[in-house]
């Protein structure tokens, strides 16, 4: 009987004692935190993508509260969310225009030849290190999901051997840009409808040999809309600082290889999430 | 010889994860990335060392209570519930202190500390110390090296898993199933250390 009483007493005493100790320590080592930081963190997307340059959303919230960054520096938040944050803190929203990523390559399996079989690690950097990669074009998309694995929003799908960005899911955080060993991914204004889907600086005929849809540098687009395009060497680029080309101008340019075109409307498939998570 | 068993033995021969199969939950849970595995390992080493010292102290000196009537009460049977309580409280206190005293360390270990308050590996090291009647010093050494053993297993495994993520794995084996198979093979490899000390 004594054993029971002692055991029960001992546990009670230990429990109470530990409770008091924790309470005491919590009191002594109290850390004052700014309530506003939590508030702002809640309003942010909390995807912790790092697109703002800070280590996650909580860190960004701290910098916003401290006045280091304007709320608009978050490339992911919607306009409403940003203005909600600005209102909560009573400061200017400050904003940057929304950008989305675009993979500037057309070379999926139907358009670009695969010259060698690659059996190594399924990773673009690894593949690109071996003799210029398995595909014919040494500048094209390798289609091994390095970018789609990096995307925190599941916005990049590998479709038939070519990375395609879902512009409705892309928030322009820019994480994928650094992962592409070929530097194919560009951040462009979200409202720009047309892009040149080629990034190879090689000469036209050389490109044409390996790909059905390269930019051959024919300058037809430059003639149709001189101030909206630039051509360097054998590669045309859309001048994004000029007003976007209209559908008529694109029709007039009549890109012979179909390389200057609108981003394909892509539908999200079941498979995408598996590629991202796998 | 004894210290060889407490150090090398705890890391390689009787590895907590791969030979004793304790602490499997964090082993599978936070091993997806090397970076998080490192944070977790640090936290486990830290907590295991502190917890074994404290629980050995309690077990060796506080569980035999002499009553006034000449009767002594043995409370060893309370060890598990008592250890859980003490370890949980200890981790809580350490977390509160770290937050104030060393924000960088708190940032590195902070999120992992609450996860291991009642981790079976931490409780296991306390129970093993009690069972083998280690002195406080021995228990602390054993705790620290058990933590190192856990860290070794976790770091090895997370590196393997980072590689697996890129590998071309057949669909039915993707994800946790290949992770479990890998863990089994890793455990078999560690059997090779048996007889070392």
pLDDT digits (tens, 9 = 90+) for A185-222: 998 888 888 899 999 998 888 888 889 889 998 888 88
Gyration radius (Cα) of chain A, Å: 27
Could you tell me if residue A16 is inside a domain? no
Could you tell me if residue B8 is inside a domain? yes
Could you tell me if residue B45 is inside a domain? yes
Tokens standing for residue A36 = 């506003």
Is the domain of A229 the same as that of A116? yes
Going by C-alpha positions, the residue among A90, A218, A13, A54 that lies closest to residue B82 is A13
Residue A124 and residue A113: Cα distance in Å, rounded?
Answer: 17
pLDDT bin (cut points 50, 70, 90) of residue A275 is very low
Helices B136-166 and B176-191, axial angle in degrees (round to 10): 130
Residue B31 and residue B45: Cα distance in Å, rounded?
Answer: 16
Residue B28 and residue B21: Cα distance in Å, rounded?
Answer: 12
pLDDT bin (cut points 50, 70, 90) of residue A276 is very low
Spell out the residues 6+ positions from residue B81 whose beta carbon is closer than 8 angstroms to its own.
A11
Using alpha carbons, list the distances in angstroms from residue A182 to A126, A147, A201, B116: 12, 11, 12, 43
Residue with tokens 């400050």: A94
Could you tell me if residue B197 is inside a domain? no
* Averaged pLDDT, A73-86: 80
Which residues constitute the domain of residue A184?
99-277
Residues of A in contact with B81 (CB under 8 A): 11
User: How many domains would you assign to chain B?
Assistant: 1
Structure confidence at residue B155 (pLDDT): 94
**Of A10, A20, A48, A134, which to mutate for an interface test with B (greatest number of B Cβ within 10 Å)?**
A10
Higher pLDDT, B144 or B98: B144
pLDDT digits (tens, 9 = 90+) for A115-129: 888 888 888 988 888
Chain A CA closest to residue B63 = A10
- Is the pLDDT confidence value at A273 over 60? no
Nearest to B96 among A6, A11, A26 (CB): A26
* Averaged pLDDT, B84-98: 87
Is the domain of A164 the same as that of A75? no
Structure confidence at residue A60 (pLDDT): 85
Residue A239: how many CB atoms within 10 A of its CB? Answer: 15
Q: Does A273 reach chain B within 8 Å, measured CB to CB? A: no
Q: How distant is the Cα of A230 from the closest Cα of chain B, in angstroms?
A: 38
Look over chain A and give the mean of its residue pLDDT values, rounded to a whole number.
83
Structure confidence at residue A49 (pLDDT): 75
* Residue where one domain finishes, among candidates A89, A119, A153: A89
Percentage of chain A beyond pLDDT 90 is 12
Q: Does A48 reach chain B within 8 Å, measured CB to CB? A: no
Q: What CATH number does residue A59 fall under?
A: 1.10.15.40
Structure confidence at residue A95 (pLDDT): 56
pLDDT digits (tens, 9 = 90+) for B118-155: 688 899 999 999 998 889 999 999 999 999 999 999 99
In the stretch 119-138 of chain A, residues with CB closer than 8 A to chain B read 121-123, 126
The DSSP secondary structure of A81-129, one letter per residue, reads HHHHHHHHHTS-------EEEEE-----TTTB-B-S---S-S-HHHHHH
* Averaged pLDDT, B179-191: 93
Structure confidence at residue B145 (pLDDT): 95
Q: Does A9 reach chain B within 8 Å, measured CB to CB? A: no
**Of B83, B166, B173, which to mutate for an interface test with A (greatest number of A Cβ within 10 Å)?**
B166
Nearest to B85 among A15, A30, A31 (CB): A15
Is the domain of A70 the same as that of A111? no
Spell out the residues 6+ positions from residue B160 whose beta carbon is closer than 8 angstroms to its own.
B182, B186
- Is the pLDDT confidence value at A266 over 80? no
Chain A CA closest to residue B85 = A15
pLDDT bin (cut points 50, 70, 90) of residue A274 is very low
Nearest to B65 among A6, A14, A149 (CB): A6
Which residues constitute the domain of residue B87?
2-191
Could you tell me if residue B159 is inside a domain? yes
- Is the pLDDT confidence value at A270 over 50? no
Look over chain B and give the mean of its residue pLDDT values, rounded to a whole number.
87
Nearest to B78 among A7, A21, A123 (CB): A7
Q: Are A54 and B121 in contact (CB under 8 A)?
A: no
Nearest to B85 among A2, A18, A278 (CB): A18
**For B53, left (φ over 0), alpha (ψ -120 to 50), or beta?**
alpha
* Averaged pLDDT, A154-164: 88
Count of residues making up chain B: 197
Is the domain of A133 the same as that of A44? no
Percentage of chain A beyond pLDDT 70 is 93
Residues of A in contact with B85 (CB under 8 A): 11, 14-15, 18
pLDDT digits (tens, 9 = 90+) for A220-233: 888 888 888 888 88
pLDDT digits (tens, 9 = 90+) for A80-115: 888 888 888 877 666 556 788 999 998 888 888 888
Is the domain of A120 the same as that of A228? yes
Using alpha carbons, list the distances in angstroms from residue A184 to A106, A107, A132, A196, A236: 11, 12, 15, 11, 14
Cβ <8 Å between A2 and B67? yes
Structure confidence at residue A141 (pLDDT): 92
Using alpha carbons, list the distances in angstroms from residue A224 to A140, A191, A218, A258, B34: 27, 21, 12, 15, 53
pLDDT digits (tens, 9 = 90+) for B33-75: 888 888 888 888 988 999 999 999 999 888 887 877 777 888 8
Could you tell me if residue A178 is inside a domain? yes
The torsion angles phi and psi of A41, rounded to 5 degrees, stand at: -55, -40
ipTM comes to: 0.74
Is the domain of A192 the same as that of A260? yes
Could you tell me if residue A20 is inside a domain? no
Buried b (16+ CB within 10 A) or exposed e, A184-193: bbbbbeeebe
Residue with tokens 């944050």: A85
The torsion angles phi and psi of A196, rounded to 5 degrees, stand at: -95, 115
Q: Which residues of B touch A (CB under 8 A)?
A: 65, 67, 71, 73, 75, 77-78, 81-82, 85-86, 89, 92-93, 96-97, 99-101, 165-169, 174-175
A256: Cα within 13 Å, side-chain hemisphere: 8
**For B195, left (φ over 0), alpha (ψ -120 to 50), or beta?**
left
Using alpha carbons, list the distances in angstroms from residue A195 to A135, A203, A276, B178: 22, 20, 25, 41
- Is the pLDDT confidence value at A44 over 90? no
Could you tell me if residue B115 is inside a domain? yes
Cβ <8 Å between A21 and B67? no
Q: How distant is the Cα of A226 from the closest Cα of chain B, in angstroms?
A: 45
Could you tell me if residue B126 is inside a domain? yes
User: How many domains would you assign to chain A?
Assistant: 2
Is the domain of A146 the same as that of A195? yes
Is the domain of A79 the same as that of A104? no
Could you tell me if residue A237 is inside a domain? yes
Strand partners, A159: A162
Spell out the residues 6+ positions from residue A220 whose beta carbon is closer than 8 angstroms to its own.
A253, A254, A255, A256
Structure confidence at residue A93 (pLDDT): 65
Q: Are B96 and A29 in contact (CB under 8 A)?
A: yes
């Amino acid at each position: 009987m004594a054993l029971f009483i002692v055991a029960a007493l001992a546990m009670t005493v230990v429990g109470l004692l530990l409770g008091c100790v924790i309470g005491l320590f919590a009191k002594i080592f109290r850390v004052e935190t700014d309530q506003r930081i939590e508030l702002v963190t809640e309003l942010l997307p909390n995807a912790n993508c790092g697109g703002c340059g800070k280590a996650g959303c909580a860190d960004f919230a701290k910098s916003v509260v401290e006045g280091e960054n304007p709320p608009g520096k978050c490339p992911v938040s919607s306009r409403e969310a940003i203005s909600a944050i600005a209102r909560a803190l009573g400061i200017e929203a400050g904003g940057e225009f929304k950008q989305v990523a675009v993979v500037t390559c057309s070379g999926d399996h139907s358009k670009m030849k695969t010259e060698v079989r690659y059996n190594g690690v399924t990773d673009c950097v690894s593949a690109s290190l071996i003799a210029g990669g398995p595909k014919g074009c040494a500048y094209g998309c390798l289609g091994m999901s390095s970018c789609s694995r990096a995307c925190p929003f599941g916005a990049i799908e590998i479709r038939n051997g070519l990375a395609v960005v879902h512009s409705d899911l892309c928030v322009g955080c820019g994480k994928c840009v650094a992962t592409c060993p070929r530097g194919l991914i560009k951040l462009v204004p979200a409202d720009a409808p047309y892009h040149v889907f080629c990034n190879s600086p090689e000469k036209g005929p050389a490109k044409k040999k390996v790909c059905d849809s390269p930019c051959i540098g024919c300058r037809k687009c430059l003639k149709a809309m001189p101030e909206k395009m630039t051509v360097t060497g054998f590669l045309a680029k859309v001048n994004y600082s000029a007003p976007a080309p209209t559908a008529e101008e694109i029709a007039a340019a009549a890109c012979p290889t179909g390389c200057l075109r609108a981003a394909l409307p892509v539908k999200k498939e079941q498979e995408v999430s598996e590629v991202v998570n796998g | 010889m004894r210290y060889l068993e407490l150090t090398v033995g705890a890391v390689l021969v009787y590895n907590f994860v791969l030979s004793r199969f304790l602490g499997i939950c964090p082993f599978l849970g936070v091993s997806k990335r090397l970076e998080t595995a490192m944070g977790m390992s640090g936290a486990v080493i830290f907590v295991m060392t502190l917890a074994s010292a404290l629980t050995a102290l309690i077990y060796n000196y506080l569980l035999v209570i002499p009553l006034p009537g000449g009767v002594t009460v043995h409370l060893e049977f309370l060890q598990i519930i008592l250890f859980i309580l003490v370890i949980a409280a200890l981790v809580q206190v350490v977390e509160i202190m770290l937050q104030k005293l060393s924000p960088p360390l708190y940032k590195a270990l902070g999120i992992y500390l609450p996860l291991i308050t009642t981790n079976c590996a931490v409780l296991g090291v306390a129970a093993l110390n009690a069972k083998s009647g280690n002195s406080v010093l021995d228990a602390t050494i054993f705790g620290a090296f058990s933590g190192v053993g856990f860290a070794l297993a976790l770091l090895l495994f997370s590196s393997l898993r980072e590689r697996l993520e890129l590998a071309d794995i057949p669909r039915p084996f993707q994800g946790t199933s290949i992770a479990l198979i890998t863990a089994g093979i890793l455990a078999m490899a560690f059997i090779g250390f048996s007889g070392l000390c």
